[in-house]
Amino acid sequence: MKFRKLAILLLIVTVMALLAVGCGQSQTAEKGKPEQAQPQPSEKPKESTEKPKESAAQVVTLSSSDQPQGCASCHVKNGDKDYTLAAEVKKIQNHPTVPADATVKTCIACHSEKSPKPFKWVLHKVHLESKIYGSKYDSACVTCHKLTSTGLLTVKGLEADGTKFTDIKSTNEDKAPQGCASCHVKKGDKDYTLAAEVKKIQNHPTVSPNATVKTCIACHSEKSPKPFKQVLHLVHLQGKIYPQNYLNSCVNCHIQTPTGEMKVKGL
């Protein structure tokens, strides 16, 4: 009986010993395993402190040579649409009828420079305030005008035979709200005033340091050998600085009045 109890006791001790060894091996194996990366809470991407670059506004550049060559290029019959001058005149209330083959010269016969409504005033107002003309041609002046070699801006199709022209590229961007006064000023050590510019012209009389456009026009009148507008057109539109920095835009210098007259800013 004693032997039986002793055998049972020995069996219990053996089992306990085996369990102890198994637990130890299990712990060792766990320690030997490489540590697995614990899932981290998702991090929000850092917000960029850089401001998004603004896309530059599209600048439309038009050339006087590849644009419509006068009124007759647009005012024609196009399929079932009639854009002739005679058809356009019918849309104007109380306007006298004109011949079916009316041209710009037909219009100018009544709308002379001395009439209450000079033709160029009427045309400027109608075209430059038109959504169709603005969307199709960006209201650019070179669609209707060409620059002569002497600095005159003529209406395409109305130039005298043999007139020589200079092709110009132009935009319709206004980068000089004050006209001449926006550009012809002192900037740091640079002097772009009219008085300083005049000094660069050989044999030109000196002018007052506070000279303005009116000072220039006093000598460069319409009847002078070098009218101011011709001189300015040649200097600016055929120069290097103005086409590069101001995109040869006419609206930098000119502004339209409510009646359609085009004037020089500041005058």
Answer yes or no: is 7 within a domain.
Answer: no
pTM > 0.85: no
What is the per-residue pLDDT across 53-84, written as a single tens digit (0 to 9) for each? 433 445 567 777 776 778 888 899 999 999 99
Answer yes or no: is 221 within a domain.
Answer: yes
**Two tokens, residue 25:** 């091996």
8 Å CB contact between 240 and 186: no
**Two tokens, residue 248:** 């040869």
Domain count for the chain, please give it. 1
| Residue type (1 letter), 256 | Q
What is the per-residue pLDDT across 203-244, written as a single tens digit (0 to 9) for each? 999 999 999 989 999 999 999 999 999 999 999 998 888 988
Q: Which residues make Cβ contacts (< 8 Å) with residue 38, sequence separation at least 6?
A: none
Scanning the structure block, which residue is given the tokens 């637990």?
A: 23
Answer yes or no: is 249 within a domain.
Answer: yes
Give the CA distances from residue 96 to residues 36, 101, 201, in Å, rounded to whole numbers and listed in that order. Answer: 94, 15, 51
Answer yes or no: is 203 within a domain.
Answer: yes
Q: Tell me the residue range of the domain where 181 lies.
A: 173-267
Answer yes or no: is 44 within a domain.
Answer: no
Answer yes or no: is 92 within a domain.
Answer: no
What is the per-residue pLDDT across 88-104, written as a single tens digit (0 to 9) for each? 999 999 999 999 999 98
**Half-sphere exposure in the Cβ direction for 180 (13 Å, CA):** 20
- CA distance linking residue 206 with residue 196, whole number of Å: 9
pLDDT greater at residue 60 or residue 250 = 250
Answer yes or no: is 10 within a domain.
Answer: no
Average pLDDT rounded to a whole number, residues 21-30: 48
Scanning the structure block, which residue is given the tokens 């002018």?
A: 207
Average pLDDT rounded to a whole number, residues 127-155: 87
Around Cβ 48, how many Cβ atoms within 10 Å? 7
For residue 254, the surrounding DSSP H or E stretch is: strand 254-256
Average pLDDT rounded to a whole number, residues 122-150: 88
pLDDT greater at residue 172 or residue 227 = 227
Kindly tell me if the per-residue pLDDT of 42 is higher than 60.
no
Answer yes or no: is 178 within a domain.
Answer: yes
Please report the pLDDT score of residue 83 as a whole number. 93
Please report the pLDDT score of residue 48 as a whole number. 44
Confidence of residue 197 (pLDDT cuts 50, 70, 90): very high
